[in-house]
Amino acid sequence: MATRGFLIRFIDIGLIVLFGFLMISDIDALSRVDLAGARQDVAEPSEVAEDDERGFVAVEILPDGRFILSDPRDDETPVVGAATIETLTAELAARQRVHADAGAETVVLIQPDPASAVQLTVDVMDVCDRLGLVKSLRMDIEVAPPPEAG
């Protein structure tokens, strides 16, 4: 009977310590991601009104780790490739300056390929956070049907 009481007290002390650490820890969301379907005004480049003053940059993440930057509303803006995060950062900063000179906010539409590494998507989101850019994540996710029981 004495071991049962000791075990209950041990669990009680463990929970008190756990809740104590939770209360003093700094739990904060470091990055906010606006999903493509969450807001109508950033959902799809084709749904963006022509009179929308914001500048859009689509960043496509390829399976081989490269990035393709384009303007989804302007076919005349050249498509630019970036092989590294540093090059991507420089290109996004340049586009941000162009949009800022025109008095527009820059919105980055992140479009990862399903076969690309998830870390690359996180890296692009980190670049957007460092530059102070609004971002929207657009993922094409296909859910496979469950296997048939046989």
CATH code for the domain in which residue 72 is found:
3.30.420.270
pLDDT at 36: 53
pLDDT reading at 44 higher than 70:
no
Residues ≥6 apart with Cβ < 8 Å to 102: 55
pLDDT at 13: 92
Residue 144 lies in a domain: no
Our count of domains for the chain comes to: 1
pLDDT at 136: 87
Residue 15 lies in a domain: no
pTM for this one?
0.59
* Domain, as residue range, for 75: 34-137
pLDDT band at 81 (very low <50, low <70, confident <90, very high): confident
Long-range contact pairs involving 81-89 (C-beta distance under 8 Å, separation at least 24) = 85/123, 85/124, 85/127, 88/59, 88/124, 88/127, 89/127, 89/130, 89/131
pLDDT reading at 50 higher than 70:
no
Residue 26 lies in a domain: no
